[in-house]
Amino acid sequence: MPRVQRTNGLFKRTETLSLGSCQFFFFIRRNFFVISFIYNRCESDIHTLGCLFNSFRPRILIDVSKIDMTTTILGFKISMPIMVAPTAMQKMAHPEGEYATARAASAAGTIMTLSSWATSSVEEVASTGPGIRFFQLYVYKNRKVVEQLVRRAERAGFKAIALTVDTPRLGRRESDIKNRFTLPPNLTLKNFEGLDLGKMDEVSIHQILSSIMANDSGLASYVAGQIDRTLSWKDVQWLQTITSMPILVKGVITGEDARIAIQAGAAGIIVSNHGARQLDYVPATISALEEVVKATQGRIPVFLDGGVRRGTDVFKALALGASGIFIGRPVVFSLAAEGEAGVRKVLQMLRDEFELTMALSGCRSLKEITRNHITTEWDTPRPSARL
């Protein structure tokens, strides 16, 4: 994957050293308006993207010649606590889209989460070969559509449901309105093909997504018409009656909701603010993480989604109590830049950075990463150690 370096006023390609160069190539190689519409947009004034900058408290004189990053998520062993978050319509970034991401995640020995709004179906992703995969789900007014999606994912070998719960309505996406995006005619939401859509079939999903109204976006029109605004904790319990797959509740950022999620039977929580694209001024996920972790009291795993750009960010999240993290934009940036090879590279890059952070902090396994390894802006001053 290339990195850009300026020499005598010209750009030349060199080795990629960070995700920043992946993002740069993503922008110069893909249509800017498509990018801003689907992958890099934020809510009205873009105030919640930032990741909290914590300080490290490394321990020294520890034998770190061997570092073990393996972990177990919902009973599945993976090579590292870095997983792939759901991002919609990946074929807009690269022709191979979700196929490439699935192969890269499998090669890295980690989990891929497929968006229900993917441009490749659950069956197509499963056909790429073995791998541990989760399926992201919205709940629609027509519950038969939900049942069909869940059962298709289950038959295709997916292992868990990531239920998105922070989108009863779509946030005001001003980039959508400004750019008047139109979904390319050769792309469609593959998971909805072949379903009995009932009332959803009155206007095709593709038409809804492609229609841009004067003061709204096509995606907002679709969500407003089909996502169920009455979604409640009872629906989390209902999902458990139609599938044996564990349910991860994605979109929790408060301790109060974390406790309710446990009562509702959730198998895990994904702390997420929807990429800072829903409600502005919500906290960055790293800032909300510890509150949620404390509320669960270790009864179910908690994961972080969003804001991770370095292996050091992975370490911070685990030190604050996360069982693992999910990355979204870094995958899309690298997918657009170099396809499957790009996604492989970005996963390896984060793995290498995380391993180095563990070694320099004196941690030989994930269980040795503790809260004592970092300080945050809300910590009380530590008393000086007495000799």
Residue 308 is assigned to a ligand binding site: yes
Summarize the chain as % helix, strand, coil (round to 5). 40, 15, 45
- CA–CA gap between residue 123 and residue 51 (Å, rounded): 35
Residue 173 is assigned to a ligand binding site: yes
Residue 376 is assigned to a ligand binding site: no
Closest Cα to residue 243, out of 164, 113, 153, 303?
153
- Sign (positive or negative) of CA dihedral 114, 116, 117, 118: positive
Catalytic residue among 47, 94, 206, 274: 274
- Which ranges of the chain does DSSP label H, i.e. alpha helix? 19-29, 32-38, 97-107, 122-126, 143-155, 174-179, 205-210, 218-226, 233-242, 255-263, 285-296, 311-319, 329-361
Closest Cα to residue 264, out of 282, 246, 287?
246
Phi-psi region of 275 (alpha: psi -120 to 50; beta: other; left: phi over 0): left
- The SS3 assignment for 245 reads coil
Residue 222 is assigned to a ligand binding site: no
Residue 182 is assigned to a ligand binding site: no
Contact predicate 66/363, CB 8 Å: no
Residue 277 is assigned to a ligand binding site: yes
**What secondary structure letter does DSSP report for 146?**
H
Residue 306 is assigned to a ligand binding site: yes
Residue 294 is assigned to a ligand binding site: no
Residue 364 is assigned to a ligand binding site: no
Hey, what amino acid is at 313? D
Closest Cα to residue 135, out of 163, 108, 107, 155?
163
Give whole-number Cα distances, 180 to 44, 176, 246, 298, in Å.
Answer: 16, 6, 38, 45
Residue 226 is assigned to a ligand binding site: no
Residue 86 is assigned to a ligand binding site: yes
Residue 307 is assigned to a ligand binding site: yes
Q: Enumerate the β-bridge partners of residue 9.
A: none
Residue 250 is assigned to a ligand binding site: yes
Tell me how crowded residue 220 is: count the other CB atoms within 10 A of its CB.
19
Residue 72 is assigned to a ligand binding site: no
**Annotation says 274 is catalytic:** yes
Q: SS3 string of 65-122?
A: CCCECCEEECCEEECCCEEECCCCCHHHCCCCHHHHHHHHHHHCCCCEEECCCCCCCH
Residue 157 is assigned to a ligand binding site: no
Tell me how crowded residue 371 is: count the other CB atoms within 10 A of its CB.
15
Binding residues: 86-88, 115, 136, 138, 164, 173, 250, 272, 274, 277, 305-309, 328-329
Positions annotated as catalytic residues are 274
Which residues belong to the annotated binding site for FMN?
86-88, 115, 136, 164, 250, 272, 305-309, 328-329
- Binding-site residues for glyoxylate sit at 138, 173, 274, 277
